[in-house]
Structure 1
Amino acid sequence: MLSETLIEGLESYRIGSKIRALRASKSMGLAQLGDHTGLSAGMLSKLERGQVVPTLPTLMRVAMVFGVGLDHFFQPGETAPLVELVRAQERLTLPNVREGDVTYHFASLDYTVQGRQTEAFLAEFPKGAPESEPHEHEGVEMIHVISGWLELTIHSRTHRLEVGDTLTFDAGFPHSYRGEGQALVTLRPEI
């Protein structure tokens, strides 16, 4: 059985609506498509409505009927404007640990959004937690403190941020965090 995260990731490709569009482009009914693929009309209906996740062999049967490759189902969707909702309870939250102690928890706010230009995280710093391990990565990082306070150490300097403060920096240099409360962290992967 697939996890909710995997199902949501697959849903972002809108495979069912792509099958429906191919069928509609040929004015073909579900029963006709079933005759060509060996799949029942009921199964095809469930695939189109996103109630069943298709296997690769099932997709290949459909693709062969319409003369498209499997890549057709995994290309970017319609050219509709990007609108992607991630509910609070659906966030992927992970701890950052240093020597067995949680330094902060970070929740990805937009991990399901395809083709995103930035990454957004909500970081929660427990009271009395140790400083995070210094780390570096590509891109520009922006931190905005929502509650409490945050200290960011970079280039041998510690910057203390209070509620409402924002700090933007080149994340390609070693940096670490220590704080108490919540901060919004936005990362633009390329600089």
Structure 2
Amino acid sequence: MNIGEKVKALRTERGLTLKQLSESTGLSTGFLSQFERGITTIAVEHLSTIADIFEVKINYFFDDEQEVEPIIRGYDQPVLRILNNMIYKQLSPVPEDKEMAPKLIEIMPHEEREFPDSYPHHGEEFVYILEGILTLNLDGKSYQLYPGDSAHYFSTLDHNWDNQTNRVVKFIVVHYPSDY
């Protein structure tokens, strides 16, 4: 939204006509109309007067409130972290204000090693396997999950997962509440 559009939004929100704003600012209705439509610019002192009329700080008009699309393209998934042969990718464009935390995790094949320790934490998790075979340890039991398989469990149970194969494992995990 440009500055003129922000002024128009405030004006209509407050129920003022162009004529009323013109009388309050000393600027012509024609000029204000052109400014609101983005045809002309405005001097800072006049914008300051408008800010005073609407009881907002002048930086209100300059704050860039970029709208965030509710999607992340597959080619543009941000990498959150790389840890122990695992790549964590963010699947939510603005995870900070959400309750769930969906991630794509890729576990690379690695030399044979001990299975990572299981641990509990607050919340619940949902896991959906996309590729490979994921070994899930859950509450003392071991499960092999294949593409298309899923698991949903309380995170308060001891749990962990690993790739015990020589191929990449890809899966989606959703934590609730968010752990971003």
Does the C-alpha gap of structure 1 residues 74 and 155 become closer, same or farther in structure 2, counting only changes over 3 Å? farther
Kindly report which structure 2 residues correspond to 1:135-146, keeping only aligned pairs within 5 A, or say none. Answer: 135-146=119-130
Q: 1:177 aligns with which of 146, 151, 161?
A: 161
Q: Alpha carbons of 1:19 and 1:174: their partners in 2 closer, same or farther (altered >3 Å)?
A: farther
Q: What's 2:146 paired with?
A: 162
Distance 1:21 1:96, change over 3 A: same
Shift of 1:35: 3.1
Counterpart of 1:42 in structure 2 is none
Q: 1:35 to 1:110 in 2, by over 3 A?
A: same
Instruction: From 136, 144, 152, give the equivalent of 2:136.
Output: 152
State the Cα distance separating 1:117 from its structure 2 match: 3.8
Q: Tell me which amino acid in the other structure corresponds to 1:92.
A: P
Q: What is the DSSP-based 3-state SS (H/G/I as helix, E as strand, rest coil) of the residue aligned with 2:110?
A: coil
Aligned with 1:31: secondary structure?
coil
Percent of pairs with identical residues: 15
TM-score (norm 1): 0.58
After the TM superposition, which of the residue ranges 114-123 and 168-177 deviates more from structure 2?
114-123
Instruction: Give yes or no for the alignment of 1:106 onto 2:88.
Output: yes
Q: Give RMSD over aligned pairs.
A: 3.6
Q: Between Structure 1 and Structure 2, whose CA radius of gyration is higher?
A: 2
Query: Paired residue for 2:73?
Result: 87
Question: Structure 1: which amino acid aligns with 2:151?
Answer: L
The Cα shift of 1:159 comes to 1.8
**Pairwise CA distance, 1:37:** 4.4
Aligned-partner residue type, residue 54 of structure 2: F
Deviations 1:89-117 (A, max 9, x none): 432212123xxxx2x11101114257434
**Aligned equivalent of 1:32, options 39, 42, 50:** 42
1:158 CA drift (Å): 1.5
Structure 1 unmatched runs, 5+: 1-16, 39-60
